A and B are shown apart, each in its own frame.
Chain A
Amino acid sequence: MIRFLATRLLQCLLVLAVMSFLIYALIGLMPGDPIDLMIAANPDFTSADAARLKALYGLDQPLLKRYGNWLTSALGGDFGYSRLYSQPVLDVIGPRLANTALLVGISLALSLLLAIPLGIAAAARPYSVIDYLVNLSCFAGISAPPFWLALMAIMLFSVTLGWFPAGGQAPPGASIWEGIQHAVLPIGVLTLASVGGFTRFMRASMLQTLRQDFIRTASAKGMTRTRVIYGHALRNALLPLVTVIALSFGTLFSGALITETMFAWLGMGKTIYDAILGNDFNLALVGLLMATGMTLLGNVLADISYVALDPRLDFRAEEP
């Protein structure tokens, strides 16, 4: 297992190195640089100002040299300075990473807690009333745009009922209860937006598993339906869901943009989006690299989960 993990870690580092260059180059290709934006915004900005600031920020150098400078600093632990937040990049990303982990982590856990039993219930009685109800709810959740869900949630629970704050996060020093109040709506909306997809995957996977020969054999041996499902079918049915979760790990990490925007929740999705639009090269680069890293991490965790769920697999199969 150690050899497997070491190999995967090396592969991840290699992918990250390649991605760092690609992302840096792509950001460099975007129209305008920070100084161009200053020129457009400030009528007193002269060509001398532009030249002075481009030289000061190293923007007058070729892309490869700039990337080399960045990489050297990054390997030394200095990921640069965020122009949008006037802070070192890691200082900006740290709290936002924690906020996203909280938002996405709890939402993912809740989604799975709902999706797995609902998917099993629907698959266990296909085309029954329960199945139709679950499917209907899933399609409603999948088709409702997250920004609309967020707005409706704010209008109902904040404006009409006054139960929860309409957005933002609890200020520093606030009580845990206040923190929970602020988190309920964004977590709820993100959960609603993702639970439908997971439930559909779970249902499809369980349906397929329940048609397998070993399930028929288990039933023929006189096992109860519950034991067949939870003792034999569930582990097999979870395999495709694990793949889906692993693949969506990076998206979940950086893609809660709409929820974060609507609830003024300071997370990674919004930070990456603002950094790209605001020409904050350093912040955008590190944010996107972190999203890449999370996707890679998700895949490694998925591989480990496959072995845990399916006794036919072991780590040696991955080794050369």
Chain B
Amino acid sequence: MRNLRFPIPRLLAVIFTVFAVWLPAQSNAQNHDRDRLVIGISQFPSTLHPSFDSMLAKEYVNAMARRKITVYDHDWKVTCLLCTDLPDLAKRSARYEKTPDGKDGMALDYALDPRAVWGDGTPITTKDVLFTWDVGRHPETGTDSSELYRRILSIDVHDDHRFTLHMDRRSCDYQGLADFNLLPAHLESGVFEPAADYRKRTLYDRDPANPGLWYGPYRVTQVNPGASIVLEPNPLWWGKKPYFKQIVVRTIENTAALVANLLAGDIDMIDGATGLSIDQALSFEKRHGEDYQVIYKPGLIYEHLDVALNNPILSDVRVRRALLHGIDRQAISERLFAGKQPVAHGQTNPLDSVYYGDGPKYTYDPSKAAQMLDEAGWPMGAGGIRRNADGTALQFDLMTTAGNKSRELVQQVLQSQWKELGIDVTIRNEPARVFFGETVSKRKFTGLAMFAWFSAPQSIPRSTLHSEMIPTEENAWAGQNYTGYASDRMDKTLDDLELVCEPEANRKLWEEMQTLYAEDLPALPLYFRANSYILPTWLKGVRPTGHQYPSTNWVEEWTVTE
């Protein structure tokens, strides 16, 4: 009978050995496959159609499989990716002209790269340009914004590759055509009509692995909705051949799980734009920095406090200036973000070529702030809170997105430093859905609202500063001038910035705009956010850009160390 006993200890030992030896071996076999790169991001694109739903995750994936006509490069200069030359006023490939109704317009000459072909071998031609224009300007298509397409009054086609756009207005940033997202006429024209249902029928969602939709170094070969997108080299790509035989972009929305997946070797890298926040990256670097490359790239994400200018307290510019003098933004940057997120003195990033560094700056000076508040009629009152002559306390709400750890930390520091000045700040946070969907977009905040703007280099801040862009019920809450800032001087400067293109005059306008912003302070600048990229030590060639055109626009430069 003894021999028939179940050998549990032995069985357990065998099972443990299998798990301990065989499973890790399986896992490692995958991890060390250097022909394959697995990238972790925290959001999944809602669509791969280039003209629907503007989102970073989609830009990141699409940049590997299709190229925009122009983008901003690593030095934040406009460059051609699909065209051969940028239109230029000096070369007469950009010209001023009159529109049919007699207004000032522009003609812009472009030529598509003659080597460019869709992934099924069909050449990329001006037929695609015309089809894209038709889709973009059609009122029922449902594209995010048809503004660019509507500005194009007509297109002259010269041959298969050369065309001229006739624009309805003059503009100094005429060279860029990044939002003109080329579509394959030979595939998409068959599903375009009726336009109102185009979004439901587009092949970018119904047949995303169709090679004819793509023309980048890679093409999408598999989409697992919500989970992953697989890309493989496009054999018809005309540029430098990419290194990796397969790139998998995996979505893991929880950032703690994202890190765990990286440590477990299930993903190789975490992208910066849609990955970890700066505090998470700093914490990761402390513990695992030796095993990975951690890159911090400050960029065009401008963290600031929008001011409700209809609040009688905050409508006084002296109070706004005092508020800025009363907070130590340098210490916030150094202590909370290890100095990786530079202090902002305005909304234009110092890395931007149009940045003006000699405008007013508000360094930390609590005694000056106190003096300014005294002069503004807010002397210190009982209980350490300042009150005006009517007895009204100097108090307002400070709002941001609930659950955003970095913002909530900054918020507490601000509250504490302003408290020392005799300002009573109440923190009132809301879920992002409510905060952006209602409170900010419909201008319902009554004090300060902390959030970030993401813009392009040399972007004229018309939508946030022009008085025509104040959201109201009458204009269906369109526009992003949530503070309600209205200044004739600023309006004129912004208008001129779009029209006065002579370099010296244009530079002066940028200076004036930034000076006005710093003097009027419709928003209180905090810092420029940095994106944190966590890459394996063996990966090279990844160059974060800091702007909205991601590093994957140059994915063919990515390779591995020997």
Contact = CB atoms under 8 A, between A and B. Distances in A.
B463 A44 contact: yes
Given A161-B20, A172-B222, A45 B437 contact: no
Interface residues of B, number: 64
A2 interface: no
A43 B145 CA distance: 9
Interface string A256-290: 00000111101000110000011100000000000
B266 A266 contact: no
Given A45-B144, A46-B147, A162 B23 contact: yes
21 contacts: A36-B437, A41-B54, A42-B54, A42-B145, A43-B463, A46-B147, A47-B476, A52-B140, A81-B200, A86-B200, A88-B200, A159-B263, A161-B19, A162-B265, A163-B24, A166-B261, A168-B227, A168-B250, A172-B224, A181-B23, A264-B261
Contact of A31 (B142, B266, B438): B438
Contact of A165 (B226, B266, B455): B266
Given A50-B478, A161-B20, A264 B251 contact: yes
A56 interface: yes
Interface string A158-174: 11011111111101100
Given A42-B54, A163-B24, A31 B49 contact: no
Contacts of A54: 476
Contact of B257 (A31, A84, A169, A263): A263
A38 B436 CA distance: 11
B260 interface: yes
Interface string B237-261: 0000000000000111110110011
A1 interface: no
A155 B438 contact: no
A158 B145 contact: no
B3 interface: no
A162 B28 contact: yes
Interface string A54-89: 101100000000000000000000000101111110
Given A96-B226, A171-B222, 14 more contacts: A31-B437, A31-B438, A32-B437, A36-B477, A38-B144, A43-B480, A50-B476, A50-B478, A147-B256, A164-B23, A172-B222, A181-B23, A264-B253, A279-B437
A61 B226 CA distance: 31
A144 interface: no
Interface string A16-53: 00000000000000111000111111111111011111
Contacts of A46: 145, 147, 478
A264 B255 CA distance: 11
A154 interface: yes
Contacts of B23: 161-164, 181
Nearest to B20: A161
Which of A85, A154, A167 has the most C-beta atoms of chain B within 10 angstroms of its own C-beta? A167
A165 B27 contact: yes
Nearest 5 Cβ contacts at the A-B interface: A32-B437, A31-B438, A162-B24, A43-B463, A158-B264
A271 B227 CA distance: 12
Contacts of B437: 30-32, 36-37, 40, 279
Which of A81, A84, A172 has the most C-beta atoms of chain B within 10 angstroms of its own C-beta? A84
Contacts of B257: 150-151, 154, 166-167, 261-264
Nearest to A37: B437
Given A151-B256, A162-B28, A264-B253, A47 B227 contact: no
Nearest to B437: A32
B41 to A, nearest CB: 11
Contacts of B200: 81, 86, 88
A284 to B, nearest CB: 12
Contact of B46 (A85, A163, A264): A85
A53 B226 CA distance: 25
A12 interface: no
Interface in B171-227: 179, 196, 199-200, 202, 205, 222, 224-227
A88 B197 CA distance: 12
A210 to B, nearest CB: 31
A304 interface: no
Contact of A32 (B144, B199, B433, B471): B433
B475 interface: yes
A16 to B, nearest CB: 26
A266 B227 contact: yes
A92 B225 contact: yes
Contacts of A161: 19-20, 23-24
Contact of A167 (B148, B266, B476): B266
Contacts, number: 179
A29 to B, nearest CB: 11
B48 to A, nearest CB: 8
A161 B196 CA distance: 53
Interface string B260-277: 110111100000000000
A298 to B, nearest CB: 26
A50 B52 CA distance: 14
B224 A171 contact: yes
Interface in B400-449: 433-434, 436-441
Nearest to B140: A56
Nearest to B451: A40
Nearest to B248: A171
Contacts of B436: 32, 37, 40
Nearest to A91: B225
Contacts of A154: 257, 260-261, 264
A36 B146 contact: no
B47 interface: yes
Contacts of B439: 31
A242 to B, nearest CB: 34
B225 A39 contact: no
A87 B44 CA distance: 14
A90 B226 CA distance: 15
Which of A158, A264, A278 has the most C-beta atoms of chain B within 10 angstroms of its own C-beta? A264
A37 B440 CA distance: 11
A69 to B, nearest CB: 14
A164 B27 CA distance: 8
Given A47-B475, A159-B260, A166-B257, A42 B144 contact: yes
Nearest to B55: A41
A50 B472 CA distance: 13
B264 A47 contact: no
B348 interface: no
Contacts of B463: 43-44
A56 B196 contact: yes
A278 B230 CA distance: 25
A261 B253 contact: yes
A86 B46 CA distance: 6
Contacts of A172: 222, 224
Nearest to A152: B260
Contacts of A155: 260, 263
